Chains A and B, each alone.
Chain A
Amino acid sequence: MTTMPLFPIWFFQVLGSVAVLVFSLLSLRITRRLTARDPENALWLFLDWLTMGFVIFSISHAVSHFLQEIINYYGPSQSLWQLRRVFGGLDSIIYVVIAATTLFFHRIQRLYRRMEADHHHLEETSHEILALNREMEALVMERTMSEMALGMAHGIRNPLHVIGGFSHRLLRKTDPDDPTRAWLSTIAEEARRIEQMVSRFESLAQRKESFFNQEDLNSIVSTTLQLLRPELNAKNITLVTSFHPEPLVGRLNGHLLKVAISHLIRNAVEATRPRGKITVRTLVEKDYAVLTIQDTGKGMPPDVVDKVFVPFYTTKIGGTGLGMVFVRQIVDEHRGVITLDSKVGRGTTVTIRLPYRFAEKVELEEAPQTPPAAEAPPESSGGAV
């Protein structure tokens, strides 16, 4: 009958045990270095735990099998048997520990992915907020500069009219041989030049429309609704729209208004149950273009409504509490008013009132184009230079 040498078993046992111990210790050195470099990396932490399990395994497994071979070789010994059983038990436990650590990896991965997604979301939101902030700052700056320029032009033009008008009158009354006539002509001519400069400056300031353009509120709202249609459809929400029959053209910033309207619609979608209804209306009320967004959602209690525009106040998990603040700022920059009416269980209605053709101050556009001395004959206003 065939016999096989037991030597290969011992050889692989010694070689295997030593190799496993060496590789697991080298692995532990790597994972230790990785966790020290990035202690919050979930993957490194998991691999470090797993490797620690492997190191304990390599020791207990080797000791357990060596004891077995010693017993086989030298014969049974009670204390060696007991020691072997202890290490055998430790072996079983360490398998369970390795398994538990590995199975936990899945959970860690999920948490890590969720954390990463939240992190990206926060980064995106902060970028959006930053971009919006910059736009708002630029808008406020331009508006202020534009108003200042128009105000200055208005302020300079009135005294200029007086100077120009009176210099022309004096010219008419001065004798042609009077030596002061040349001085008066120069005054009248220079006044006219300054007046032309102011006019050019004023028209330039009025024409600067990079932030506020002549836009139709109806088209801004309908474009925004088209973009948000998939979100409404996903929740099976009925959208009812009612637009003012005439275009509601005013000096508006389409981009900012779209941001504000989409935020309000998204809020309405979140608050509304599936198969609910959201109504969007535009109308004209005296001097205001009015936009209302009404939902049939859960509504808000009065104390929440009071805090809606308070920065960083939010009832949403993961919300920044800045959305409604920006919405109000956008409406404010359009010299508009936003109001909220909400009843718990019945829904919320947001109303935005934008001054119809609000843009520049009307009195500036209607500023007197003729000097108080308009009665001056054209030939004299031409002046002789």
Chain B
Amino acid sequence: MTRWLTQILSGVFVLLLFSPRYALAQGWFEWGTQGSYVHQFAHLLFFAAMVFFIFAMRHEKLQRYRGFLYLIWGCAILAWWNLDSVAGHTLEWGLTNPVILGHGLSERLLMENTETWLYYITKIDHFALLIPAFYLYYRGLKVLAQESQSETP
């Protein structure tokens, strides 16, 4: 079953990669294309799911347990990350001809207006937020595993 699924997915991937240009004529991440909307909605759905997960855990009063508390905080940061991403993508795809000065590692972005500033901040956030979110998720699971092991006779 897994092999069969892997073969199909690989096939789809190869087809997409080597497909004629017109098949991908519309960019997925250029504002206004269908792909961009799909991506933004996917982020919003991800955000809603994280909020729902937090709500479900709080509803069950699971925050009393340390492991679940870490999960709640991890999910909260992920929810924030999704909103940050939606804003970041909107700004990124809306930037018209951003001016980049310099070369290589010393490249610098010309801060022409507020949008450029916001783009710069959200771009850093986009990865900076993921680190604590995934750390807390991992930590939550670790605590849950330890607690469940100590419960096992």
Contacts and interface: CB of A to CB of B under 8 A. Distances in A.
Nearest to B19: A82
Contacts of B135: 19, 23
B40 to A, nearest CB: 9
A141 B110 CA distance: 97
Interface centre among B43, B46, B124, B144 (most CB of A within 10 A): B46
Contact of A16 (B60, B112, B127, B138): B127
A17 B56 CA distance: 29
Interface centre among A91, A99, A105 (most CB of B within 10 A): A99
A27 B141 contact: yes
A73 B106 CA distance: 12
A39 interface: no
Interface residues of A, number: 57
A88 B108 contact: no
Given A1-B110, A20-B134, A85-B28, A95 B45 contact: yes
A19 B136 CA distance: 12
Contact of B110 (A3, A79, A81, A91): A3
B105 interface: yes
Given A6-B107, A95-B43, A102-B53, A88 B29 contact: yes
Contacts of B111: 1-4
A96 interface: yes
A96 B134 contact: no
B123 interface: yes
Where chain B touches its partner, the secondary structure class is helix
Given A16-B128, A20-B131, A106-B56, A27 B28 contact: no
A19 B42 CA distance: 23
A140 interface: no
Contacts, number: 142
Nearest to A16: B127
Contacts of B130: 16, 19-20
A83 interface: yes
A35 to B, nearest CB: 11
Interface in B63-108: 100-101, 104-108
A5 interface: yes
A31 B28 contact: no
Contact of A96 (B45, B104, B148): B45
Contact of A1 (B104, B112, B127, B144): B112
Interface in A91-130: 91-93, 95-96, 98-103, 105-106, 109
Contacts of A98: 46, 49
A54 B137 contact: yes
Interface in A21-66: 23-24, 26-27, 30-31, 33-34, 37-38, 47, 51, 54, 58, 65
A33 B145 contact: yes
Contacts of B48: 99
B150 to A, nearest CB: 13
A47 B141 contact: yes
B34 to A, nearest CB: 11
Interface centre among B21, B127, B128, B130 (most CB of A within 10 A): B127
A176 to B, nearest CB: 84
Nearest to B85: A95
Interface centre among A17, A20, A37, A81 (most CB of B within 10 A): A20
Interface of A: 1-10, 12-13, 15-17, 19-20, 23-24, 26-27, 30-31, 33-34, 37-38, 47, 51, 54, 58, 65, 73, 78-79, 81-86, 88-89, 91-93, 95-96, 98-103, 105-106, 109
Interface of B: 13, 16-17, 19, 21, 24, 27-29, 35, 38-39, 42-43, 45-46, 48-50, 52-53, 56, 60, 100-101, 104-112, 120, 123-124, 126-128, 130-131, 134-135, 137-138, 141-142, 144-145, 148, 152
9 smallest CB-CB distances across A and B, nearest first, come from A16-B127, A99-B49, A95-B42, A23-B134, A102-B49, A3-B108, A92-B42, A12-B127, A95-B46
